[in-house]
Structure 1
Amino acid sequence: MTAAYVSLISAISRLLGLVAMCLTGSAALVVTHMVIVRYFLNGSTVWQTEYVIYSLVAATFLGSPYVLLHKGHVNVDLLQLQASPGLRRLMQTVSGLVGVAFCALLAWSGWLYLHEAWVYDWTTDSVARIPLWIPLFPLPLGIGVLVLQYLAEIIKIYGGVE
Protein backbone atom coordinates (compact mmCIF):
# COMPACT_ATOMS: atom_id res chain seq x y z
CA MET A 1 0.00 0.00 0.00
CA THR A 2 2.71 2.51 0.93
CA ALA A 3 4.75 1.56 -2.15
CA ALA A 4 1.69 2.19 -4.32
CA TYR A 5 1.14 5.58 -2.66
CA VAL A 6 4.76 6.61 -3.14
CA SER A 7 4.68 5.44 -6.75
CA LEU A 8 1.43 7.30 -7.51
CA ILE A 9 2.53 10.57 -5.89
CA SER A 10 5.92 10.34 -7.61
CA ALA A 11 4.16 9.91 -10.97
CA ILE A 12 1.92 12.92 -10.29
CA SER A 13 4.94 14.98 -9.25
CA ARG A 14 6.72 14.01 -12.49
CA LEU A 15 3.65 14.97 -14.51
CA LEU A 16 3.45 18.36 -12.80
CA GLY A 17 7.18 18.79 -13.42
CA LEU A 18 6.53 18.23 -17.12
CA VAL A 19 3.69 20.76 -17.05
CA ALA A 20 5.98 23.26 -15.30
CA MET A 21 8.63 22.70 -17.95
CA CYS A 22 6.08 23.31 -20.73
CA LEU A 23 4.84 26.49 -19.02
CA THR A 24 8.39 27.79 -18.69
CA GLY A 25 9.16 26.99 -22.32
CA SER A 26 5.95 28.59 -23.52
CA ALA A 27 6.74 31.70 -21.47
CA ALA A 28 10.11 31.95 -23.22
CA LEU A 29 8.41 31.66 -26.61
CA VAL A 30 5.84 34.30 -25.69
CA VAL A 31 8.59 36.69 -24.53
CA THR A 32 10.32 36.17 -27.87
CA HIS A 33 7.04 36.87 -29.68
CA MET A 34 6.50 39.97 -27.54
CA VAL A 35 9.94 41.36 -28.37
CA ILE A 36 9.45 40.78 -32.10
CA VAL A 37 6.00 42.39 -32.12
CA ARG A 38 7.02 45.40 -30.02
CA TYR A 39 10.46 46.24 -31.34
CA PHE A 40 10.55 44.94 -34.88
CA LEU A 41 6.92 45.29 -35.98
CA ASN A 42 6.10 48.35 -33.86
CA GLY A 43 2.94 46.64 -32.59
CA SER A 44 1.36 46.51 -29.20
CA THR A 45 1.06 43.52 -26.93
CA VAL A 46 -1.97 42.93 -24.74
CA TRP A 47 -1.90 39.44 -23.30
CA GLN A 48 1.79 38.50 -23.44
CA THR A 49 3.08 40.11 -20.24
CA GLU A 50 0.24 38.72 -18.17
CA TYR A 51 0.67 35.26 -19.68
CA VAL A 52 4.39 35.21 -18.93
CA ILE A 53 3.90 36.30 -15.32
CA TYR A 54 1.13 33.82 -14.59
CA SER A 55 2.77 30.93 -16.41
CA LEU A 56 6.07 31.36 -14.56
CA VAL A 57 4.31 31.59 -11.20
CA ALA A 58 2.26 28.51 -12.11
CA ALA A 59 5.44 26.68 -13.13
CA THR A 60 6.94 27.50 -9.74
CA PHE A 61 4.01 26.08 -7.78
CA LEU A 62 3.35 23.12 -10.05
CA GLY A 63 7.03 22.20 -10.29
CA SER A 64 7.69 22.24 -6.54
CA PRO A 65 6.63 18.60 -5.91
CA TYR A 66 8.96 17.48 -8.70
CA VAL A 67 11.83 19.43 -7.16
CA LEU A 68 11.18 17.80 -3.78
CA LEU A 69 11.02 14.36 -5.42
CA HIS A 70 14.53 14.90 -6.77
CA LYS A 71 15.82 16.58 -3.59
CA GLY A 72 16.38 19.86 -5.41
CA HIS A 73 15.20 22.28 -2.72
CA VAL A 74 17.79 24.19 -0.76
CA ASN A 75 18.89 21.96 2.09
CA VAL A 76 21.37 22.71 4.86
CA ASP A 77 22.49 19.20 5.76
CA LEU A 78 25.71 19.86 7.66
CA LEU A 79 24.27 18.49 10.91
CA GLN A 80 22.46 15.62 9.19
CA LEU A 81 25.64 14.40 7.54
CA GLN A 82 27.42 14.27 10.90
CA ALA A 83 24.52 12.65 12.80
CA SER A 84 24.00 8.97 13.46
CA PRO A 85 21.52 7.20 11.14
CA GLY A 86 18.79 7.22 13.81
CA LEU A 87 19.20 10.92 14.58
CA ARG A 88 19.42 11.71 10.85
CA ARG A 89 16.11 9.90 10.29
CA LEU A 90 14.53 11.86 13.15
CA MET A 91 15.83 15.18 11.78
CA GLN A 92 14.53 14.37 8.29
CA THR A 93 11.16 13.40 9.72
CA VAL A 94 10.82 16.58 11.77
CA SER A 95 11.79 18.77 8.82
CA GLY A 96 9.36 16.84 6.61
CA LEU A 97 6.53 17.31 9.10
CA VAL A 98 7.27 21.03 9.35
CA GLY A 99 7.15 21.16 5.54
CA VAL A 100 3.82 19.30 5.56
CA ALA A 101 2.34 21.69 8.12
CA PHE A 102 3.49 24.84 6.33
CA CYS A 103 2.47 23.64 2.87
CA ALA A 104 -0.89 22.31 4.08
CA LEU A 105 -1.67 25.74 5.52
CA LEU A 106 -0.56 27.43 2.30
CA ALA A 107 -2.60 25.02 0.14
CA TRP A 108 -5.69 25.51 2.32
CA SER A 109 -5.47 29.30 2.18
CA GLY A 110 -4.87 29.04 -1.57
CA TRP A 111 -8.05 26.97 -1.97
CA LEU A 112 -10.01 29.55 0.06
CA TYR A 113 -8.70 32.38 -2.13
CA LEU A 114 -9.47 30.38 -5.29
CA HIS A 115 -12.99 29.71 -4.03
CA GLU A 116 -13.60 33.41 -3.36
CA ALA A 117 -12.32 34.32 -6.82
CA TRP A 118 -14.66 31.73 -8.34
CA VAL A 119 -17.76 32.66 -6.30
CA TYR A 120 -17.37 36.42 -6.66
CA ASP A 121 -16.30 36.18 -10.31
CA TRP A 122 -13.11 38.17 -9.77
CA THR A 123 -11.02 39.06 -12.80
CA THR A 124 -7.58 40.49 -13.34
CA ASP A 125 -7.20 44.26 -13.66
CA SER A 126 -5.71 44.02 -17.13
CA VAL A 127 -7.43 44.64 -20.44
CA ALA A 128 -7.80 40.89 -20.89
CA ARG A 129 -9.90 40.60 -17.69
CA ILE A 130 -8.93 36.96 -17.14
CA PRO A 131 -11.02 35.19 -14.50
CA LEU A 132 -8.76 35.26 -11.45
CA TRP A 133 -9.41 31.64 -10.50
CA ILE A 134 -7.37 30.52 -13.54
CA PRO A 135 -4.03 32.01 -12.43
CA LEU A 136 -4.83 31.14 -8.78
CA PHE A 137 -5.47 27.44 -9.46
CA PRO A 138 -1.79 26.33 -9.62
CA LEU A 139 -1.14 27.50 -6.04
CA PRO A 140 -3.41 25.06 -4.19
CA LEU A 141 -2.88 22.31 -6.75
CA GLY A 142 0.91 22.44 -6.75
CA ILE A 143 1.30 23.02 -3.03
CA GLY A 144 -1.36 20.39 -2.27
CA VAL A 145 0.63 17.82 -4.24
CA LEU A 146 3.76 19.10 -2.50
CA VAL A 147 2.14 18.09 0.82
CA LEU A 148 1.51 14.62 -0.58
CA GLN A 149 5.09 14.44 -1.87
CA TYR A 150 6.41 15.41 1.59
CA LEU A 151 4.38 12.54 3.05
CA ALA A 152 5.81 10.19 0.42
CA GLU A 153 9.32 11.32 1.35
CA ILE A 154 8.62 10.59 5.01
CA ILE A 155 7.34 7.14 4.04
CA LYS A 156 10.57 6.58 2.10
CA ILE A 157 12.60 7.34 5.22
CA TYR A 158 10.93 4.58 7.23
CA GLY A 159 9.59 2.18 4.64
CA GLY A 160 12.65 1.73 2.50
CA VAL A 161 10.43 2.49 -0.51
CA GLU A 162 12.04 4.28 -3.45
Structure 2
Amino acid sequence: MALPTVDAGWRRGADFLVRSIGGLSTLCGWIAASMILASVFITCQMIFVRFVLRQSTIWQTETVIYLMIAATMLGLPYVQKLRGHVNVDLLPLWLSPLPRKLLAIVVLLSGIVVLGIMGFYAFEHWHTAFQRGWRSSSVWGPPLWIPYLAMPLGFALFILQLLADLLALLTGRDTAFGLEAD
Protein backbone atom coordinates (compact mmCIF):
# COMPACT_ATOMS: atom_id res chain seq x y z
CA MET A 1 0.00 0.00 0.00
CA ALA A 2 1.44 3.32 -1.05
CA LEU A 3 1.63 6.09 1.49
CA PRO A 4 0.22 9.45 0.44
CA THR A 5 2.92 11.97 -0.28
CA VAL A 6 3.09 15.50 1.09
CA ASP A 7 2.45 16.79 -2.43
CA ALA A 8 -0.77 14.76 -2.73
CA GLY A 9 -2.00 16.06 0.64
CA TRP A 10 -1.22 19.63 -0.33
CA ARG A 11 -3.06 19.24 -3.63
CA ARG A 12 -6.10 17.76 -1.85
CA GLY A 13 -6.10 20.71 0.56
CA ALA A 14 -5.75 23.18 -2.29
CA ASP A 15 -8.55 21.44 -4.19
CA PHE A 16 -10.81 21.64 -1.11
CA LEU A 17 -9.99 25.34 -0.72
CA VAL A 18 -10.71 26.11 -4.38
CA ARG A 19 -14.03 24.22 -4.19
CA SER A 20 -14.99 25.97 -0.93
CA ILE A 21 -14.28 29.42 -2.34
CA GLY A 22 -16.19 28.45 -5.49
CA GLY A 23 -19.15 27.45 -3.30
CA LEU A 24 -18.98 30.80 -1.49
CA SER A 25 -18.89 32.60 -4.85
CA THR A 26 -21.95 30.64 -5.99
CA LEU A 27 -23.76 31.60 -2.79
CA CYS A 28 -22.89 35.24 -3.50
CA GLY A 29 -24.35 34.82 -6.98
CA TRP A 30 -27.62 33.54 -5.51
CA ILE A 31 -27.72 36.40 -3.02
CA ALA A 32 -27.06 38.92 -5.80
CA ALA A 33 -29.82 37.40 -7.95
CA SER A 34 -32.21 37.59 -4.98
CA MET A 35 -31.36 41.24 -4.49
CA ILE A 36 -32.13 41.96 -8.14
CA LEU A 37 -35.43 40.11 -7.84
CA ALA A 38 -36.29 42.06 -4.68
CA SER A 39 -35.46 45.29 -6.55
CA VAL A 40 -37.91 44.36 -9.31
CA PHE A 41 -40.69 43.66 -6.79
CA ILE A 42 -40.00 46.88 -4.88
CA THR A 43 -40.05 48.85 -8.13
CA CYS A 44 -43.41 47.32 -9.06
CA GLN A 45 -44.77 48.13 -5.60
CA MET A 46 -43.48 51.70 -5.95
CA ILE A 47 -45.20 52.13 -9.31
CA PHE A 48 -48.45 50.78 -7.88
CA VAL A 49 -48.30 53.10 -4.84
CA ARG A 50 -47.44 56.18 -6.91
CA PHE A 51 -49.69 55.80 -9.91
CA VAL A 52 -52.60 53.68 -8.71
CA LEU A 53 -52.93 54.74 -5.09
CA ARG A 54 -51.62 58.27 -5.81
CA GLN A 55 -49.48 58.25 -2.68
CA SER A 56 -45.89 59.32 -2.20
CA THR A 57 -43.11 56.83 -1.77
CA ILE A 58 -40.41 57.26 0.83
CA TRP A 59 -38.01 54.34 0.89
CA GLN A 60 -38.46 52.48 -2.40
CA THR A 61 -36.16 54.37 -4.79
CA GLU A 62 -33.27 54.47 -2.37
CA THR A 63 -33.70 50.81 -1.43
CA VAL A 64 -33.66 49.74 -5.07
CA ILE A 65 -30.48 51.74 -5.68
CA TYR A 66 -28.75 50.21 -2.65
CA LEU A 67 -29.90 46.70 -3.55
CA MET A 68 -28.65 47.02 -7.14
CA ILE A 69 -25.25 48.30 -6.00
CA ALA A 70 -24.98 45.49 -3.45
CA ALA A 71 -26.05 42.93 -6.07
CA THR A 72 -23.35 44.21 -8.42
CA MET A 73 -20.66 44.06 -5.75
CA LEU A 74 -21.67 40.69 -4.31
CA GLY A 75 -22.07 39.24 -7.80
CA LEU A 76 -18.43 39.94 -8.72
CA PRO A 77 -16.96 36.69 -7.37
CA TYR A 78 -19.65 34.58 -9.02
CA VAL A 79 -19.09 36.21 -12.40
CA GLN A 80 -15.34 35.66 -11.95
CA LYS A 81 -15.94 32.00 -11.12
CA LEU A 82 -17.90 31.62 -14.37
CA ARG A 83 -15.29 33.67 -16.27
CA GLY A 84 -18.03 36.05 -17.27
CA HIS A 85 -16.05 39.28 -17.08
CA VAL A 86 -15.10 40.99 -20.34
CA ASN A 87 -12.05 39.28 -21.74
CA VAL A 88 -9.87 39.90 -24.77
CA ASP A 89 -8.06 36.63 -25.37
CA LEU A 90 -6.17 37.45 -28.57
CA LEU A 91 -2.75 37.47 -26.88
CA PRO A 92 -3.35 34.26 -24.87
CA LEU A 93 -4.46 32.51 -28.08
CA TRP A 94 -1.17 33.43 -29.77
CA LEU A 95 1.02 32.33 -26.88
CA SER A 96 2.33 28.84 -26.25
CA PRO A 97 1.25 27.14 -22.98
CA LEU A 98 4.09 28.28 -20.67
CA PRO A 99 4.01 32.00 -21.60
CA ARG A 100 0.19 31.82 -21.50
CA LYS A 101 0.35 30.47 -17.95
CA LEU A 102 2.83 33.16 -16.92
CA LEU A 103 0.57 35.84 -18.42
CA ALA A 104 -2.41 34.42 -16.52
CA ILE A 105 -0.42 34.55 -13.28
CA VAL A 106 0.58 38.17 -13.93
CA VAL A 107 -3.01 39.11 -14.79
CA LEU A 108 -4.42 37.43 -11.66
CA LEU A 109 -1.78 39.00 -9.40
CA SER A 110 -2.34 42.43 -10.99
CA GLY A 111 -6.07 42.08 -10.47
CA ILE A 112 -5.54 41.14 -6.83
CA VAL A 113 -3.31 44.19 -6.27
CA VAL A 114 -5.71 46.63 -7.96
CA LEU A 115 -8.74 45.19 -6.17
CA GLY A 116 -6.80 45.22 -2.91
CA ILE A 117 -6.25 48.96 -3.30
CA MET A 118 -9.89 49.53 -4.21
CA GLY A 119 -10.99 47.34 -1.31
CA PHE A 120 -8.79 49.26 1.12
CA TYR A 121 -10.36 52.58 0.16
CA ALA A 122 -13.85 51.08 0.12
CA PHE A 123 -13.26 49.76 3.64
CA GLU A 124 -11.97 53.14 4.72
CA HIS A 125 -15.09 54.83 3.30
CA TRP A 126 -17.37 52.29 4.99
CA HIS A 127 -15.54 52.65 8.30
CA THR A 128 -15.82 56.46 8.19
CA ALA A 129 -19.56 56.24 7.50
CA PHE A 130 -19.97 53.75 10.36
CA GLN A 131 -17.82 55.67 12.81
CA ARG A 132 -19.40 59.06 12.11
CA GLY A 133 -22.96 57.73 11.93
CA TRP A 134 -23.61 59.03 8.42
CA ARG A 135 -27.23 58.81 7.32
CA SER A 136 -28.89 59.37 3.98
CA SER A 137 -30.27 62.86 3.51
CA SER A 138 -33.61 61.49 2.32
CA VAL A 139 -36.83 61.48 4.36
CA TRP A 140 -36.22 57.80 5.11
CA GLY A 141 -32.62 58.46 6.20
CA PRO A 142 -31.10 54.97 6.62
CA PRO A 143 -27.59 54.66 8.06
CA LEU A 144 -25.16 54.68 5.13
CA TRP A 145 -22.77 52.13 6.56
CA ILE A 146 -25.25 49.40 5.63
CA PRO A 147 -25.20 49.96 1.85
CA TYR A 148 -21.53 50.99 1.92
CA LEU A 149 -20.62 47.60 3.43
CA ALA A 150 -21.28 45.97 0.06
CA MET A 151 -18.20 47.61 -1.46
CA PRO A 152 -15.41 46.26 0.77
CA LEU A 153 -17.23 42.95 1.13
CA GLY A 154 -17.65 42.57 -2.64
CA PHE A 155 -14.01 43.45 -3.32
CA ALA A 156 -12.80 41.04 -0.60
CA LEU A 157 -14.89 38.19 -2.02
CA PHE A 158 -13.70 39.00 -5.55
CA ILE A 159 -10.07 38.88 -4.36
CA LEU A 160 -10.79 35.56 -2.66
CA GLN A 161 -12.12 34.14 -5.94
CA LEU A 162 -9.07 35.46 -7.81
CA LEU A 163 -6.83 33.76 -5.24
CA ALA A 164 -8.76 30.52 -5.78
CA ASP A 165 -8.31 30.91 -9.55
CA LEU A 166 -4.59 31.47 -9.04
CA LEU A 167 -4.32 28.42 -6.78
CA ALA A 168 -6.25 26.32 -9.30
CA LEU A 169 -3.90 27.48 -12.06
CA LEU A 170 -0.74 26.78 -10.03
CA THR A 171 -1.90 23.30 -8.98
CA GLY A 172 -2.95 22.33 -12.50
CA ARG A 173 -6.63 22.11 -11.56
CA ASP A 174 -7.37 24.79 -14.18
CA THR A 175 -5.74 26.00 -17.39
CA ALA A 176 -4.59 29.51 -18.21
CA PHE A 177 -7.49 31.58 -19.54
CA GLY A 178 -9.51 28.38 -19.84
CA LEU A 179 -7.58 27.43 -22.97
CA GLU A 180 -6.30 23.92 -23.49
CA ALA A 181 -2.58 23.32 -23.93
CA ASP A 182 -1.50 23.05 -27.55
Q: How many residues align?
A: 162
**What's the TM-score once normalised by structure 1's chain length?**
0.96
| Structure 1 vs Structure 2 CA RMSD | 1.0
| Contact in 2 for aligned 1:123/1:132 (Cα 8 Å) | yes
Aligned-pair distance for 1:160?
2.1
Kindly provide the CA deviation profile for residues 14-67 of structure 1, in whole angstroms up to 9, marking residues without a partner as x: 111111000000001111111111111111111000001000000000000000
**Post-superposition, which runs of at least 4 consecutive aligned residues in structure 1 deviate over 4 A?**
none
Kindly provide the CA deviation profile for residues 120-153 of structure 1, in whole angstroms up to 9, marking residues without a partner as x: 1111111111111100011111110100111111
Residue of structure 1 equivalent to 2:8: none
**How many percent identity over aligned positions?**
38
State the one-letter code of the partner of 1:36. F
Gaps of 5+ in 2: 1-12, 175-182
| Contact in 2 for aligned 1:30/1:52 (Cα 8 Å) | yes
Residue of structure 2 equivalent to 1:70: 82
Match 2:40 to one of 28, 52, 55: 28
Report the Cα distance in structure 2 between the residues aligned to 1:85 and 1:125, rounded to whole angstroms: 55
Report the Cα distance in structure 2 between the residues aligned to 1:132 and 1:148, rounded to whole angstroms: 25
Greater CA radius of gyration, 1 or 2?
2
Gaps of 5+ in 1: none
| Contact in 2 for aligned 1:6/1:161 (Cα 8 Å) | no
Aligned-pair distance for 1:118?
1.1
Match 2:166 to one of 149, 154, 157: 154
Residue of structure 2 equivalent to 1:92: 104
Matched, 1:118 2:130: yes
State the one-letter code of the partner of 1:98. S
